[in-house]
Amino acid sequence: MKISATPGPQPEFARNSFAHMADATEARARAERPDTTDDDLRALVRNVIDTDAKIWSVG
């Protein structure tokens, strides 16, 4: 079953997709250095998840 729309090897487990999203969120937070309020971080996480949902599909 194909669980990734990105090029390269497919993740072996669905949890690898979650690890990818966590890595992407951390990288973006560090790169953009958003304000450290909870609301700003929640918005950043939501945006990364929404963006990745267009690329990654688990199911």
Digit-coded pLDDT (tens) for 2-57:
444 556 666 677 777 788 878 888 888 888 876 678 888 888 888 888 877 676 55
Task: Give the total number of structural domains in the chain.
Answer: 1
pTM, entire model? 0.54
Among candidate residues 58, 56, 59, the one with its CA nearest the CA of residue 23? 56
Range of the domain at 35: 14-55
The answer to whether position 38 is within a domain reads yes
The answer to whether position 9 is within a domain reads no
The answer to whether position 4 is within a domain reads no
What is the structure's pLDDT at 1? 44
The answer to whether position 31 is within a domain reads yes
What is the structure's pLDDT at 2? 47
The answer to whether position 6 is within a domain reads no
If phi > 0 it is left, if psi is from -120 to 50 it is alpha, else beta; for residue 8 that is left
The answer to whether position 8 is within a domain reads no
What is the structure's pLDDT at 35? 66
The answer to whether position 7 is within a domain reads no
The answer to whether position 3 is within a domain reads no
